[in-house]
Structures are given as C-alpha cells and as structure tokens.
Amino acid sequence: MASFVKVRNVNPLGAVTVNLEGDKVDVAAGAVISVAPEVAGRAAAWRSPRDGDDLAFMECRHDDDFTVTEVHDLGDGLLAQPDNWHLVTGKDGDL
C-alpha cells in the first residue's frame, strides 16, 4: 500500500497547478492535497556534510579551524518551497 504525505498550498498568489505523475491538478489557496513522499520532498535544513557534497556551491558553517561542520541543504520537492507549501500533520490535515 502506497504511503502519502499531506501538504497545504499557502502560496500568497492563490491557486496553483501542479503536475502529479502526468496529471495536472489545480490546487486552490489553502487546500490540502495528498502526494507521494517523493513529490512532497523535504524542506531546507542545516545538516552534516556528506561525501559528494559540492561545498563550493553550498552555504557552510565552520568551526574555529575552518573545518566544515554543517551545510545548508536546499531541500527538494514541494516542501523546498516554504512560501508555497507546508507539511500538514494531525487533525489539521483532515481532508
């Protein structure tokens, strides 16, 4: 059984059209939709650096020895757009 995540359109400009697996869906401002976790993605966050990170193109935090301690991961999917989409949890997510 597929797992879904609920997200709310908080776009200040109103309704948006999103492409969900080839289907274009109009989402009204304030509306909650269920999407696959890969579509919801994740919000931007600070995290530990990983092999393969291109530190030249990432905002970094350093310790006193200038060793990178954290990188700013920009996230992905709808939740990487915090001005437009919010993760919905609990009763707030009732459809």
Lowest mean pLDDT among 11-15, 26-30, 90-94: 90-94
Q: Count other Cβ atoms within 10 Å, centred on residue 51.
A: 4
Q: What is the pLDDT of residues 38-73, one digit of tens each?
A: 999 999 999 999 999 999 999 999 999 999 999 999
d(CA 28, CA 8): 9
Entry pTM = 0.77
Give me the pLDDT at residue 92, please: 59
Give me the pLDDT at residue 20, please: 86
Radius of gyration (C-alpha) of the chain in whole angstroms: 17
